[in-house]
Amino acid sequence: MPTVLGRFCRKKPLGAAGGALMLLMVFTAVLAGPLSTHDPIATDAGHTLAPPGSRHWLGSDHLGRDIYSRIIHGARVSLIVGVVSTLFGSVLGGIIGLLSAYVGGKTDLLSQRLLDILQGLPLLVLALVMSAALGPSLTNVIIAISVPIIPRAARVIRSSVLSIREMQYVEAARALGLGHLRLAFRHVMPNTIGPFIVLTTAQLGSAVLVEASLSFLGLGVPEPYPSWGRMLSVSAAEYARNAPWLVLFPGITISLAVFGSNLLGDALRDTLDPRLRGA
């Protein structure tokens, strides 16, 4: 394993940098408590809109809350929403794709048409309608973001299962008299793990972006959880002319997180899926 990791770092320095960035984010999220300097939701009427300095490293917002501590704690919400919704959507979509390709025939046709319908809507619009319909809460935001991911995941896994299904080892396993479920999950599924990893890293970035957009519009994770998107919301925009740090730092953090996962995703795709190299 160390040699694999070392080779990856040498061949894909940018991907490794992205991975390091993601690790840093996870690290921040886990150690949010000791890393932060203030209580992220404590207001301080005496120090509203303070510029970045020794007291508030990245300034404070219109309620006197410390921006740095809020960003650190926001990493928890944004990463949890991003990672859980990506995994949930990809696993569910992956299983649908696996079964639909394995069974084939009318099941395949029907599920494909259903997914076509879901995919006819832009990711953000679907997530927007879903989260509005479900009401704002952490779980609902995760559901709202993972549902639009399902059709995308199903399509990727389906196409790779379609070719795996025809391979000789699957035929051999069937000749041994294995049941369909065992065949699908034990023999076919492990070979879709490459595309699956590529898919999840690629979707992670957009999941974080959608969460930020939802929170920005006030349909995301509710107060008092600090989330990066919420920090940029309308109330921040009002004060931005006098206090640009309100807008600048959370936005940079979102961009860095997504940038990291995109870099890592690209490098992983190049490594695991040589057909798409350079795309």
Could you give the C-alpha distances from 219 to 125, 141, 149, 227, in angstroms and in order? 12, 8, 18, 12
Q: How many CB atoms sit inside 10 A of residue 217's CB?
A: 16
| Interacting residues with other proteins between 10 and 39 (CB under 8 A) | 14
Q: Site map for other proteins, 44-83, x if CB under 8 A?
A: ----------------------------------------
> Which of residues 67, 84, 96, 128 is near other proteins by CB under 8 A?
128
Q: How many residues bind other proteins (CB under 8 A)?
A: 43
Question: Binding to other proteins by residue 135, rule CB under 8 A?
Answer: yes
Find the distance separating the first CA and the last CA of the chain, reported in whole Å.
27
Helix intervals (H) in the chain = 2-11, 13-30, 32-35, 67-103, 105-119, 123-134, 138-165, 168-175, 180-182, 193-216, 228-231, 234-239, 245-272
Taking CB under 8 A as the rule, does residue 239 contact other proteins? no
**Tokens 């919400």 sit on residue:** 77
Q: Which residues contact 279 (CB under 8 A, 6 or more apart)?
A: 269
**Do the Cβ atoms of 56 and 48 come closer than 8 Å?**
no
- For 216, residues 6+ apart whose C-beta sits below 8 A from its C-beta are 229, 230, 232, 233
Whole-number minimum distance, CB 171 to other proteins, in Å? 32
Q: Which is nearer to other proteins, 38 or 211 (CB)?
A: 211
Site string for other proteins, 86-125 (x = CB under 8 A): -------------------------------xx-xxxxxx
Q: Tell me the window of 174-182, 185-193, 255-263, 267-275 that interacts with other proteins (CB under 8 A).
A: 255-263
Surface-to-core class of residue 8, CB atoms within 10 Å of its CB (0-12 exposed, 13-18 middle, 19+ buried): middle
Q: What track of x and - describes contact with other proteins for positions 181 through 220 (by CB under 8 A)? A: ------------------------x---x--xx--xxxx-
- Cβ distance to other proteins smaller for residue 41 or 256: 256
Angle between the 67-103 and 13-30 helix axes, to the nearest 10 degrees?
120
Part of the chain binding other proteins (CB under 8 A), chosen from 55-63, 169-177, 185-193, 249-257:
249-257
Q: Closest CB to other proteins among 106 and 277? A: 277
- What is the CB-side half-sphere exposure of residue 252 using CA atoms within 13 A? 11
Question: Which chain residues interact with other proteins by CB under 8 A?
Answer: 14, 117-118, 120-125, 128-130, 132-135, 205, 209, 212-213, 216-219, 229, 232, 237, 240-241, 244, 247-248, 251, 254-256, 258-259, 262-263, 266, 278-279
